[in-house]
Structure 1
Amino acid sequence: MTEHGPDNPLETAERDIIALGIAVAAIIMLIATGGSVLPKALDALLGNSRTPDVLLINALLLNIALVIFGWRRYRDLTHEIAERKRAEHQARLLAATDPLTMCLNRRSMAEATEQVRQRAVVAGEAVAYCMIDLDNFKQINDMHGHTNGDAVLVTLAERVRSLLPRDARLARLGGDEFAFVMSYPVGHTDRIDDLVIRLFESVAQPFALPELTIELTMSIGLATDHDGEGSTETAIDAATLMHRSDMALYHAKKQGRNCYFWFEPSMENELRFRNQIETGLRRGLTQGEFVPFYEQQVDLESGELVGFEMLARWQSPQLGLVSPEIFIPIAEEIGLITELSEQLMDQAFANAREWDDSLSLSINISPVQLRDPWFAQRLLKKLVAANLPPPRLEIEITESCLHENVGLVRSMITSLRNQGVQISLDDFGTGYSSLEQLRSLPFDRIKIDRSFISELRQPNGRSRIVDAIISLGRGLNLPLTAEGVEDEEILTALKSMGRLKAQGYFYGKPENAEEVRERLRAAGKLAAVNDRPAAEVLPETPAARPLYRIARP
């Protein structure tokens, strides 16, 4: 029902027949009665005649009262109608507008986009839909409070609005996500590019709040209803434009953020593949499709096998053997990495119990897992349940983990080391570790990233970075492991640099549990599980490093 509909109650109230009838009748009667009574009353006052009929006087007074009543009723009614109209207008405004930034909201943006598109069709123009998302905005709310976060959003909306043409429509879709839609001459996407560049320059300016200054970046996804040749694509509506710009925004986020991309059809295939991965991850966790593979770790000096690093593999019935570089980042994003990692650890701990005591097991830990303050306790419980001595386990932590919450990471590292678990710093040199962190955090080993090890293929067989890392390890009394040993040339160069552990395809590709079992059986390093005493984790004490004890039968 619209405001101007035929059955609108406000319009009906404005034409209130009862109030109008009372007022008109009262006026007519007042004229008729007054015309008879007033001359007689005037003559009576002058002493020229008798007093008028009392009944007529009462009728006159009643008419006056009716006129006043009708006028007041009509006045009050029109005032109430005006208030209700203002309330309805405010309600429609609130329903269509974000109350914080006074932009359109998600619901009204679809209608506004369709209106812009229809006008553009009539004018022979194209339409661009732009989706904006602030990078890492959640950290601002967490660190500085939602009040400052809201102030940033208001300022951002003002900056964007000031750069848009008058006929563009700006909306806040939710949280820190904004969008605008506008028309532009067909074939001139460069105008949109120029506008987006100005938006980046504007957002790059610090957000000066009363108590602090905040610097931000943003990512942008763009879509248009015309193809690269300037032809109109069929079946392009507001929902399709929004969906495509969202895919372009996702691509911008994936490419490192603080950038923008126009939608391309390949992005849709990429997103469809990602959705397939997400669905497969959830199904695979319930079906037991994730299995550990093991890469050999060898002592360079003796050439002896000293342990294995566990690598995650996904044996998907639909996709085949999926690389962890594909599914691990997605599992982290959708919150499945902890469940996935714990499933793999349960299998790996059971497998390692069959190995000789001299063989260690290395496991990579995701930064997401280290945000959980109970991670160390759950890991130790799994070791007890698997009857695996803690000193045989080595946890590998990447440098990126050290910058999210150093205090929490230090607490967990200390807790694990106090029970005998070894801690290594993985992919050293690719992140932002400082010497202070290496000195203060209790690491047991440094792993040199494979990107640096590959430099040993140079003619002189040396790498300044590898030399520097090895010298640093010696100075801090930290053993080192070299990743990515692929050929004899790299192996020879490493042997000249001191005592190291090494791993890589030179020693063989990662193997599943059964292949490792056969390898160890042939080497005489497969132990009988039933002959093993159980490992019991001791409670933490103030002592430096209390280890485990063997629970004798």
Structure 2
Amino acid sequence: MQGPPATPIPTPVPARLFALGLVGGALMVAVAILLIQLGLDLPAKTILFLTAAGLTFLYWRMPPAHRHEADRVDQADALTGLTNRPHFQRAGQAMIDTAFARKRGVTLLLLDIDRFRAIAGSFGHEAGDALLQHVAKTLRSEASSDAIVARFEGDCFGCLIPVDARGRDRVNRLAERLAIRIAQPIRLADQDFAPRAAIALAHVEGPTATIDQLVRRADLALIAAKARGDGRPLWFDPAMETAMAERNMIVSDLRAALAQGDIQPRFVPQIDLGNARLTGFEVLAHWEHPTLGAMAADRFMPVAEASGLSGDVSLALMRQAMAAARDWDPSLTLSFPLSTAQFHDAWLAQKVIKTLTESGFPAHRLEVEITENALFANLALAQSIVVSLKNQGIALALDEFGSGYSSLAHLRALPFDRVRIDPNFISDMAADPELMKIVTAIVQLGDTLNLPIAAKGLRDAETQDRLRLIGCAQGQGPFYGPPMDLGQVRQFLAERRLLAGSTAPPFPTIPRLAG
């Protein structure tokens, strides 16, 4: 006996047919608007009702996979396939709320590729995209299944993790694994390259916790991690909010301080280690802030660089120092560190030369210092700038040697007159045999290349003696006294008869020059 006919299963509407339905619906809405303008309200309402009903019918006949396809596309980053920032915000708040209900908290790990723009500029944008995909894959493979992994923007990634009271150790291990794995060499544009990441961590829990609060804390920790520059993961600390308030104050007051001449030069003595004579000064910035007090360059110059004002600060210092040094002994030089941001300025050489010309300071008594990181950011532009400066007789020093990328390659790439060793190698050299070996190797390399080696950060007589024995040419640091202002340096030179018209002191001078 044959049973009743089976109820036919409705065939799902293909996504393409639904798209055609949307086009048709749009046309029907246009017709309805036209009818309303003609005063035919009833037919217009009928058309709108039928259009809405038809589109609703088509939508619910679509397969679920097609129905949610657009949502998935909207939630994903096109390059890496990770969650994008807008969806991360929504899903993150939901995770925080759920975690609170379960008496748990949420930790955010932020990861930023160190100097990503410089990498993309040197290796090409395709290589930059490949690096982003590599980092995304690494982060997704290390994160737990309940984590939300997102690409925020550019080279910044986030990993949101629900944790219990004992979960901090698990997060620390994740951060350490990521730092190690991302630092492994990869192939970019037919070259081996070892990237480095800045990693920050922040945690929230409780009924008032929000995703915006968590992201802000992690952002502050990331700024501090990047400034520290050692590649180690860093947790948010409430003191970072105080530091950010100070940073904002510096940004708001810096331009006015430049206009009013409040940024003043400080002079750091540079000593010939062979005969203990003064050879010149490194010129650093100093700011007497009305609220924050006395600030050395390392406190506000990173902010100046981030806000695009480091070039203005450097040129202002040059004008003041060169004007003051015109009647100094002609053997004394002035050395100015230039920031990485300044080497993005194609007109940098012209600005320096113009400042020289206006001040009447001899070009051969000027030295500019460039870091390896500035070279890495845009080697071709740096070469162009350096050639223009060298053609005027200006000396060039490679600063903080050993702290950046591809040191030997950079020594070959540009015509340096001097190399200054990173002060981190010098400050603890006497107590650390491994550092002593590194410094000795750098000095020997300088001998081979006929490049004088200078040591920054010299703190004691023992270090000075060791540097002298291995043949280091020049030293500077706290051992020779604190930086001097314009009045102090003039008195200092007058006492040693190093102003124009005075008789030079007998050889040798005292090893320790100040303070």
TM-score by length of 1: 0.65
From the superposition, tell whether residues 215 and 75 of structure 1 become closer, same or farther in structure 2 (CA, over 3 Å): farther
Shift of 1:156: 5.6
From the superposition, tell whether residues 401 and 178 of structure 1 become closer, same or farther in structure 2 (CA, over 3 Å): closer
The 8 Å contact of residues 456 and 493 in structure 1, kept in 2 or not, is answered as no
Shift of 1:345: 0.9
| Correspondence for 1:423 | 396
Is the aligned partner of 1:123 residue 2:120?
no
**Equivalent residue runs for 1:310-325 within 5 Å:** 310-325=283-298
Determine helix, strand or coil for the equivalent of 2:229.
coil
Shift of 1:289: 2.0
CA distance in 2, matches of 1:168, 1:451: 38
Alignment RMSD: 4.7
Shift of 1:323: 2.1
Shifted more, 466-475 versus 403-412: the winner is: 466-475
| Correspondence for 2:326 | 353
Q: Which amino acid aligns with 1:513?
A: L
Q: Deviations over 1:242-275 (max 9, x none)?
A: 2223233334434436543443333333433433
Shift of 1:294: 1.4
Match for 2:347 among 363, 374, 394? 374
Determine helix, strand or coil for the equivalent of 2:364.
helix
Shift of 1:452: 6.1
Q: Deviations over 1:1-39 (max 9, x none)?
A: xxxxxxxxx9xx9xxxxxxxxxxxxxxxxxxxxxxxxxx
CA distance in 1, matches of 2:311, 2:103: 53
The 8 Å contact of residues 301 and 500 in structure 1, kept in 2 or not, is answered as yes
CA distance in 2, matches of 1:496, 1:73: 92
Q: Deviations over 1:98-123 (max 9, x none)?
A: 45556554334333233223333333
Q: Which amino acid aligns with 2:298?
A: E
Shift of 1:385: 0.8
Q: Which amino acid aligns with 1:345?
A: M
From the superposition, tell whether residues 290 and 122 of structure 1 become closer, same or farther in structure 2 (CA, over 3 Å): same
Paired positions, count: 453
Where does the alignment leave 5 or more consecutive residues of structure 1 unmatched? 1-9, 14-71, 227-231, 529-553
Match for 2:152 among 173, 179, 202? 173
Determine helix, strand or coil for the equivalent of 1:362.
strand
Q: Which amino acid aligns with 1:384?
A: T
Shifted more, 116-125 versus 203-212: the winner is: 203-212
Determine helix, strand or coil for the equivalent of 2:294.
strand
| Correspondence for 2:508 | none
CA distance in 2, matches of 1:421, 1:381: 13
The 8 Å contact of residues 123 and 188 in structure 2, kept in 1 or not, is answered as no
From the superposition, tell whether residues 507 and 403 of structure 1 become closer, same or farther in structure 2 (CA, over 3 Å): same
Shift of 1:386: 0.8
Shift of 1:500: 4.7
Is the aligned partner of 1:225 residue 2:198?
no
CA distance in 2, matches of 1:213, 1:473: 26
| Correspondence for 2:88 | 109
Determine helix, strand or coil for the equivalent of 1:223.
strand
| Correspondence for 1:189 | 168
CA distance in 2, matches of 1:267, 1:238: 18
CA distance in 2, matches of 1:371, 1:442: 19
TM-score by length of 2: 0.69
Shift of 1:291: 0.7
Determine helix, strand or coil for the equivalent of 1:356.
coil
| Correspondence for 1:413 | 386
Q: Deviations over 1:433-467 (max 9, x none)?
A: 76675466433334456566668868xxxx66666
CA distance in 1, matches of 2:423, 2:192: 40
CA distance in 1, matches of 2:421, 2:136: 46
From the superposition, tell whether residues 386 and 241 of structure 1 become closer, same or farther in structure 2 (CA, over 3 Å): same
CA distance in 2, matches of 1:252, 1:455: 23
The 8 Å contact of residues 110 and 159 in structure 2, kept in 1 or not, is answered as yes
Match for 2:309 among 333, 336, 340? 336
Shift of 1:475: 5.0
CA distance in 1, matches of 2:454, 2:173: 49
**Equivalent residue runs for 1:457-496 within 5 Å:** 473=446, 476-479=449-452, 481=454, 483-484=456-457
The 8 Å contact of residues 291 and 344 in structure 1, kept in 2 or not, is answered as yes
| Correspondence for 1:48 | none
CA distance in 1, matches of 2:128, 2:428: 46
CA distance in 2, matches of 1:211, 1:494: 40
**Equivalent residue runs for 1:191-340 within 5 Å:** 191-193=170-172, 218-226=197-205, 232=206, 235-256=208-229, 258-299=231-272, 304-340=277-313
CA distance in 1, matches of 2:169, 2:429: 46
Q: Which amino acid aligns with 1:353?
A: R
Q: Deviations over 1:484-512 (max 9, x none)?
A: 55555566666677795554455543211
CA distance in 2, matches of 1:302, 1:83: 91
Q: Which amino acid aligns with 1:292?
A: P
CA distance in 2, matches of 1:195, 1:499: 43
Shift of 1:344: 0.8
Q: Which amino acid aligns with 1:176?
A: D
Q: Which amino acid aligns with 2:86?
A: R
| Correspondence for 2:510 | none
CA distance in 1, matches of 2:444, 2:414: 19
Q: Deviations over 1:191-249 (max 9, x none)?
A: 444555676677678889999998755444333334xxxxx4x5222221222232333
Is the aligned partner of 1:518 residue 2:491?
yes
